[in-house]
Chain A
Amino acid sequence: EVQLLESGGGLVQPGGSLRLSCAASGFTFSSYAMSWVRQAPGKGLEWVSSVSGSGDSTYYADSVKGRFTISRDSSKNTLYLQMNSLRAEDTAVYYCAKQIGGSSFFDYWGQGTLVTVSS
């Protein structure tokens, strides 16, 4: 059974940093691209970033480029999102998702972790 468990969310001040983790199980982690998708309170889904199965290729939404870094550790079956220079508009539930190919096909999602950026 595929499981994705996010952690690391919380309250952070504007300009601060936070690292999210997503522990994966139930599939061969290194064989699949992974992504982060976020949802601001009361708003729709917004893709944040993707990383290839090997970790060699990364992609970012313009809204986070230069501030967020996606990475993965296949020895720990864990996906990460390092978030720096956080802004109020980054406040959202962050979901990790298992991705099929380089597409918008996300076949499994985690339960999400809430990030609140506020002073």
Chain B
Amino acid sequence: QSVLTQSPSASGTPGQRVTISCSGSTSNIGSNIVNWYQQLPGMAPKLLIHSNNQRPSGVPDRFSASKSGTSASLAISGLQSEDEADYYCAAWDDSLNGVVFGGGTKLTVL
């Protein structure tokens, strides 16, 4: 059972907007930045969003994220087939003194 809670799956058709949620607590999301990672099939994870809502260079502006209280969300607009991947949220946890990940959300583009 992961410390951060994500829905196991999400789906959408090309061009749609989908949202992936990540729920935590005051010791992690509530007091630290949230980062999001994309893992394409068979590949290593890649940083997608850092510091709650910042896109690294090279990440399309179709990807956006936000944080409120002890929850965070990732939004993907103009869904494309190449967005089909696993998405993970992560935060430092002050109680555990370590990094915690969500269980991951598998995004399917129908």
Q: Using CB atoms and an 8 Å cutoff, list the residues of chain A in contact with chain B.
A: 35, 37, 44-47, 50, 59-62, 95, 100, 102-112
Give bound CA distance, A35 to B37, whole Å. 15
Chain B residues with CB below 8 A from A35, complex form: 99
Give bound CA distance, A50 to B92, whole Å. 12
Q: Which of B56, B96, B104 contacts A45 (CB 8 A)?
A: B104
- Identify whether the interface residues of A are mostly helix, strand, loop, or mixed: strand
Q: How many A-B residue pairs have CB under 8 A?
A: 72
Q: Is the CB of B45 within 8 A of A60?
A: no
Within the complex, the shortest CB–CB distance from A51 to chain B, in Å, comes to 12
Q: A44-B88, A45-B88, A95-B45 are in contact. Are A105 and B35 (CB under 8 A)?
A: yes
Q: Which of A102, A103, A109 contacts B44 (CB 8 A)?
A: A109
Q: Which of A44, A50, A100, A112 contacts B102 (CB 8 A)?
A: A44
Q: A95-B44, A109-B45 are in contact. Are A103 and B101 (CB under 8 A)?
A: no
Q: Which of B39, B46, B92, B104 contacts A104 (CB 8 A)?
A: B92
Chain B residues with CB below 8 A from A62, complex form: 96
B11 proximal to A (CB < 8 A): no
Q: A104-B91, A105-B50 are in contact. Are A47 and B44 (CB under 8 A)?
A: no
Chain A residues with CB below 8 A from B102, complex form: 44
A45 nearest CB neighbor, chain B only: B101
Q: Is the CB of B100 within 8 A of A45?
A: no
B101 nearest CB neighbor, chain A only: A45
Q: Is the CB of A107 within 8 A of B44?
A: no
Q: Is the CB of A105 within 8 A of B101?
A: no
